Structure 1
Amino acid sequence: MSKRSIRDTMGIVLQDPWLFEGTIRDNIKYGKVDASDEAMFEVSKQARMP
């Protein structure tokens, strides 16, 4: 396995999670405010959020 493939499949999660003010939906859509509800729900599934 190459270093490149390892880097492509790994990520980092900070130890101090925090949310912006507002709803969980607002936090999910923070990076793309024009995202559809369908896209928002798909992302929440990928993040394994109920």
Structure 2
Amino acid sequence: MNGVGEGKSSWKIGMILGISDNAVNFHLENTMGKLGATSRIQAVAIRLDVL
């Protein structure tokens, strides 16, 4: 979640990882589902144990 937590776009994260922004979104949606988050911001907050 480093890229998301730093506010990077899916496109930028994809460029860093060498994958498409669609792949980033796919994996992020799966992660958000496992965390029970409904947004990227909420997922970061859960991950950082802010909520």
In proportion to residue count, which structure has more helix?
2
**Which of the two has higher C-alpha Rg?**
1
How high is the TM-score relative to the length of structure 2?
0.35
How high is the TM-score relative to the length of structure 1?
0.36
